[in-house]
Each structure stands twice: as C-alpha cells, then as structure tokens.
Amino acid sequence: MGKFIYDGTVKVDFDDRTLVHLQVVIGTKLRRNEAFHFTWKDDASIGDGRTTVWVHPRCSLVYKFYGGRRPQLNMAWVEALAFTANSPSGLYVVPEPKEGDPVPGGNHEAH
C-alpha cells in the first residue's frame, strides 16, 4: 500500500499500482503547468466521505511506495485517468481497463 501526501498534511493510501498511474498523470499535468482538482473516496475509518485537493505546480507532493518494484504501466489506464484529470470535475480514480480496451476520449474509441 502506497501513500499520496499533499502539502505535508493530507495523506491517503493507494495501492502501489494505482499510485504509480496517478503519479504519471499528475506529473504530466504539472509539467504542462496545468492545475486541477484531485478527488478520492475516503476510507470508512475516517467517515466514508470524499476529499478534494487543488493540485498546482507549486504544491508539495510526495508519492511513498512500499513495494520494491515499480508496477508495469497500463497505458489504457493512464489515458482513462488523464481523461478525468482534463474534465471539469478533475482527476479521480477509475477502474483499471484491460490494455487495448476503449478509453473515453482516448485514441482507441470508435467515432
């Protein structure tokens, strides 16, 4: 289980596989100087609600991985997460699609 830490105060657990995909999407947006909302569902132990943070190029982010090996990237999942990050509601975790599955707004979607 990895940990995403926002500005040193907001901490949330994600499994390492999810966290590495979020890191790619967030890093891409920040390299482009694009700010966005990032929302996740809180654990039942802290109220079962949701948290949203405003991610911007000057915020402090830490990705803490507990596994020793970097998980293999699923580019279909990266595309699906990037699609949410570029939407008005901002980034949120969507289920991992299989490689090659159509992704909303992605290159594989039939038009």
> Residue 25's pLDDT is what?
98
> Residue 3's pLDDT is what?
96
> Residue 99's pLDDT is what?
72
Domain count, the chain: 1
- Please indicate, yes or no, if residue 99 is contained in any of the structural domains: no
Judged on CB neighbours under 10 Å (0-12, 13-18, 19+), 106 is middle
Enumerate residue ranges in the chain where pLDDT < 50.
Answer: 107-111
Q: Could you tell me the pTM of the whole model?
A: 0.87
- Please indicate, yes or no, if residue 26 is contained in any of the structural domains: yes
> Residue 109's pLDDT is what?
37
> Within 10 Å of residue 14's Cβ, how many Cβ atoms?
20
- Please indicate, yes or no, if residue 31 is contained in any of the structural domains: yes
> Residue 110's pLDDT is what?
33
Please answer whether residues 96 and 74 qualify as being in contact, where contact means their C-beta atoms are separated by less than 8 angstroms: yes
> Residue 67's pLDDT is what?
83
Q: How far apart are CA 95 and CA 81, in angstroms?
A: 9
- Please indicate, yes or no, if residue 63 is contained in any of the structural domains: yes
Domain that holds residue 61: 2-92
